[in-house]
């Protein structure tokens, strides 16, 4: 594998994940300031605790796994299982970047209505236009595309496990958010849910 291919596959995945994590932390902080409250908060139910723990494990585990891969760790848990299929792995990195862009654009479309977890109070209105007119969960869709792309770019046991944990967390969180939005917005959310798919 040439350096022109090997370097992006070695360092690119860790950079993609680190950039989106840093951006999400800053976006959460900024939104919290804009709304004068907390934009981050998971409920206390078992399901919400599970989602929060799986999200944290996936993100922290992914940062560690991709960082060790970039550092050249010889451990089997962090080494790609798929050998030198560089074209497929580069396609995975491209998917991760596309997911990153989708996440940023979709989150930006939500503005100060964006939250992480289940908020104490619902935002003032549903976001149903732009990307949200095509998918009810474009932010999660972008992050799932990123997780899948990173698992293809670095198909190690550790990264695949993190991607699976993230997927399970998203499935739990999306369903909890749907129930919250239905309670908060009633018929308006029911109509939106009937018109727009959960994913794509």
Map out the domains of the chain as residue ranges: 3-195
pLDDT of residue 81: 83
Its pTM stands at 0.92
pLDDT (tens digit, 9 = 90+) per residue, 116-150? Answer: 988 888 888 999 999 999 999 999 999 999 999 99
**The two three-digit tokens of residue 64, written as one number:** 């560690």
pLDDT (tens digit, 9 = 90+) per residue, 52-103? Answer: 999 999 999 999 999 999 998 878 888 888 666 789 999 999 999 999 999 9
Other Cβ atoms less than 10 A from the Cβ of 108: the count is: 13
> How much of the chain is helix, strand and coil, in % rounded to 5?
70, 0, 25
- DSSP type of residue 111: G
- Closest by alpha carbon to 116, among 96, 143, 85? 143
The whole-chain average pLDDT of the chain stands at 93
Is the CATH number of domain 3-195 3.10.270.10? no
Q: What angle do CA 78, 166, 200 make, to 5 degrees?
A: 125
Strands of the chain, DSSP E: 40-41, 116-117
């Amino acid at each position: 594998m040439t350096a022109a291919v090997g370097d992006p596959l070695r360092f690119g995945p860790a950079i993609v994940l680190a950039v989106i994590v840093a951006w999400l932390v800053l976006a959460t902080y900024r939104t919290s300031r804009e709304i004068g409250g907390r934009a981050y908060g998971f409920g206390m139910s078992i399901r919400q605790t599970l989602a929060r723990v799986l999200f944290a494990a996936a993100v922290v585990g992914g940062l560690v796994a991709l960082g060790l891969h970039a550092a050249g760790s010889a451990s089997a848990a962090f080494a790609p299982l798929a050998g030198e299929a560089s074209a497929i792995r580069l396609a995975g990195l491209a998917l991760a970047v596309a997911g990153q862009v989708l996440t940023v654009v979709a989150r930006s479309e939500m503005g100060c209505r964006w939250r992480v977890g289940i908020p104490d109070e619902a935002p003032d209105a549903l976001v149903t236009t732009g990307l949200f007119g095509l998918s009810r969960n474009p932010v999660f869709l972008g992050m799932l595309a990123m997780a899948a792309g990173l698992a293809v770019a670095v198909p190690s046991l550790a990264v695949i496990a993190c991607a699976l944990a993230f997927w399970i967390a998203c499935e739990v969180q999306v369903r909890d958010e749907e129930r919250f939005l239905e309670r908060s917005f009633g018929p308006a959310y029911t109509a939106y849910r009937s018109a727009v798919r959960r994913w794509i």
